[in-house]
Amino acid sequence: MIELHSPLWLIALPLCLAPLLRRRGRAPVASLAALADRWTLRRLLAPLPELLLSAALVCMVLALARPQEISRTRTVNREGVDILLVLDTSGSMEAEDFQLEGRRVNRLEAAKHTIARFAEGRPDDRVGLVVFGEEAFTQIPLTTDHRALPGFLRQVQLGMAGERGTAIGDAIAVASQRLKALTAPEKIMILLTDGRSNAGQVAPLAAAEAAAALGVRVYTIGVGGGGGGRGILGMFGGGGSDLDERTLRAIAERTGARYFRADDTDALREVYATIDALEKSPAEVEEVVNAEERHHPLTFAALCLLGLSLLLSETALRRLP
């Protein structure tokens, strides 16, 4: 990538037109006899020295701005945070009470969009995804290949883990099992749901206690309003929209984290931004910048153009004083 080391020199570019504006009163010929011929090749080429001088000045200014070819090498010296995003895909998440770019979308689409942006901002951390409904399973294993995350997120669909229930406890248990064997200094879970736990084998608070014992902090996010706008899956699903904030708050408190409420897209983005600020990555990143000067061709061109301009102005295209 080409960058300018001293871009302020570009302010001088308009001054490069000065040679084209000066000496207009001089006759564009070398002798009075040549004035008899109105149109000659010599008279047509008369402005050439000034044009060459302006071009030389442009090259000189660009050279002074010092274009450089920059290459950067990033090295992560130690592990960052392991983050498992735990996402509710039950039927009630079909409620279209969120907006993206001026159009109404369901809760799941808004969550997926916000999660993708959150992951982009954590390039040095491993991020994975667990989805849950009546059951829970890992959709995206923990990875630092964040370019692949949008593609995996597009595969997340309503009801893919069962649409008639919300197994919050099982989801926490599955995510905790994933984080258990990892060695990262920081492990967090971000659970997003719009209902209350009414399915699964593990009680939510029991799962939270187990997560806390493993050193995992569980941030919880409650989304949606009073259940208006549920779609087909929401009408037939048992997940419900009666958000159990009391349980979500208790889960967060028992693991040393926080509970958040998001009723619209902006609030949801602010929640993830807050978590991002709270969970700074401990990864130490070393960036090596290699800069190679690329002004030499411009300097050479400026000298050549300047020399040619002076040569022509004193010989073949010399003007009368």
Predicted confidence band of residue 50 (pLDDT cuts 50, 70, 90): confident
Choose the most confident range, by mean pLDDT, from 14-23, 67-76, 303-312.
303-312
Average pLDDT of span 288-303? 85
Every domain of the chain and the residues it spans: 2-71+291-314, 78-278
Contact (Cβ atoms closer than 8 angstroms) between residue 97 and residue 225: yes
- Strand order across the beta sheet in which 259-262 lies: 136-143, 126-132, 81-88, 186-193, 216-223, 259-262
Whole-angstrom CA distances from 220 to 48, 122, 148, 185, 250 are: 73, 19, 25, 21, 9
pLDDT averaged over every residue in the chain: 81
Q: What is the pLDDT of residue 237?
A: 40
Give per-residue pLDDT as tens, 199-220.
889 999 999 999 999 999 999 9
Contact (Cβ atoms closer than 8 angstroms) between residue 167 and residue 136: yes
DSSP per-residue string spanning 73-135: EEEE-S--EEEEEEEE-SGGGG---EEETTEEE-HHHHHHHHHHHHHHT-TTSEEEEEEESSS
**222 has which bridge partners?**
193, 261
Torsion angle in degrees (nearest 10) through CA of 295, 297, 298, 299: 80
Note the Cα 229 to chain centre separation in Å: 32
Number of residues assigned to the chain: 321
On the question of pLDDT at 227 being above 70, the answer is: no
Give per-residue pLDDT as tens, 149-183.
888 888 899 999 988 889 999 999 999 998 887 77
> CATH code for 78-278?
3.40.50.410
DSSP per-residue string spanning 191-202: EEESS---SSSS
Q: How far apart are CA 289 and CA 78, in angstroms?
A: 20
Predicted confidence band of residue 246 (pLDDT cuts 50, 70, 90): very high
Instruction: Compute φ and ψ for 75, nearest 5 degrees.
Output: -125, 120
Give per-residue pLDDT as tens, 91-147.
889 988 888 888 899 999 999 999 888 888 887 788 899 999 999 999 988 888 877
Predicted confidence band of residue 76 (pLDDT cuts 50, 70, 90): low
Give per-residue pLDDT as tens, 230-242.
444 444 343 445 7
Q: Kind of pairing, strands 126-132 and 136-143? A: antiparallel
